[in-house]
């Protein structure tokens, strides 16, 4: 399977703390994306990082990419109850196949 | 607001009774995707369209068919639903294949 893996599978933290999720993948990529999914809803795109980038920020989100290790991390700073959701990484391989391969997801729970 | 709309949000069908799920978009994106997502799992790509070009995933069952009559609409037909087809079905679009995807809210399919 080309599916990526995320670590941890589940994470619970206190509101205000930082949350870090990791993603590993198997193939060479053009880009890596992070999505959020609230329970029973569709996915929402958070951030896209390209293979020639190492770090990217968007508001309280910080994403890093290490192509030599085929891994990425998503850091959410100063977490809020509304951040409770599942987070998925997704990769576009550089095979030019026009599609994303999603990781297994991390279930994040923020405790008020 | 530009968006991806899925109807119905909840669909109940009987074992073996054909069902059609619909997706529409006001984003005027070239690419449309159908995903199947089972509980606590990653979205699994069933097929996608680049304009009118249809791309089927190798492991998508023949029971699943799709139609894209125009840029705005895409349909998922399940010809003979089995109990194992109960899942959330997500439609997504992107302006450029492999880039940011915009998801609809999903259709939850129950098979009795």
pLDDT, residue B91, reads 97
Instruction: List, in order, residues 6 or more apart from A96 with CB less than 8 Å away.
Output: none
Whether the Cβ atoms of residue A4 and residue A23 lie closer than 8 Å to each other:
yes
Task: Give the CA distances from residue A48 to residues B20, B56, B101, in Å, rounded to whole numbers and listed in that order.
Answer: 32, 25, 10
Q: What residues of B are in contact with residue A99 (Cβ under 8 Å)?
A: 33, 45, 48, 55, 97-98
Question: Tokens 């995320």 correspond to what residue?
Answer: A6
Neighbours of A46 (CB within 10 A): 19
Burial group, residue A58, by CB count within 10 angstroms (0-12, 13-18, 19+): exposed
Among chain A residues, CA nearest to B32: A99
Q: What are the phi and psi torsion angles at A94 (to 5°)?
A: -95, 25
First to last CA, chain B: 36
Q: What is the mean pLDDT of residues B51-68?
A: 93
Asked if B61 has any chain A CB less than 8 Å from its own CB, the reply is no
Please judge whether A41 and B100 are an interchain contact, meaning their C-beta atoms are less than 8 angstroms apart. no
pLDDT, residue A1, reads 44
What integer best gives the mean pLDDT of chain A?
Answer: 92
Q: Could you tell me if residue B68 is left (phi over 0), alpha (psi between -120 and 50 degrees) or otherwise beta? A: beta
Cα distance between residue B65 and residue B56, in whole Å: 9
Q: What residues of A are in contact with residue B103 (Cβ under 8 Å)?
A: 35, 42-44
Instruction: List, in order, residues 6 or more apart from B42 with CB less than 8 Å away.
Output: A3, A88, A102, A103, A104, A105
Top pLDDT among B101 and A97 is at B101
- Indicate if the pLDDT at residue A96 is higher than 80: no
What pLDDT digit, counting tens, does each position of B69-97 carry? Answer: 999 999 999 999 999 999 999 999 999 88
What integer best gives the mean pLDDT of chain B?
Answer: 94
Whether the Cβ atoms of residue A84 and residue A36 lie closer than 8 Å to each other:
no
């Amino acid at each position: 399977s080309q599916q990526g893996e995320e670590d941890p599978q589940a994470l619970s933290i206190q509101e205000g703390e930082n949350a870090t999720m990791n993603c590993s993948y198997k193939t060479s990529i053009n880009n890596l994306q992070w999505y959020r999914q609230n329970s029973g809803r569709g996915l929402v795109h958070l951030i896209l990082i390209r293979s020639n980038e190492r770090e990217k920020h968007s508001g309280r989100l910080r994403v890093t990419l290490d192509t030599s290790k085929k891994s990425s991390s998503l850091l959410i700073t100063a977490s809020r109850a509304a951040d409770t959701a599942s987070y998925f990484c997704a990769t576009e391989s550089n095979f030019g196949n026009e599609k994303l391969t999603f990781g297994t997801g991390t279930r994040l729970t923020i405790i008020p | 607001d530009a968006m991806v709309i899925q109807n119905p949000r909840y669909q109940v069908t009987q074992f073996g009774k054909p069902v059609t799920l619909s997706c529409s978009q006001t984003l005027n994106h070239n690419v449309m995707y159908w995903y199947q997502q089972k509980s606590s799992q990653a979205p699994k790509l069933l097929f996608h369209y680049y304009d009118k070009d249809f791309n089927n995933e190798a492991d998508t069952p023949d029971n699943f068919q799709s139609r894209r009559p125009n840029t705005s609409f895409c349909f998922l037909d399940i010809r003979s639903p089995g109990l194992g087809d109960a899942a959330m079905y997500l439609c997504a679009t992107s302006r450029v294949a492999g880039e940011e995807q915009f998801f609809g809210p999903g259709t939850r399919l129950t098979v009795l």
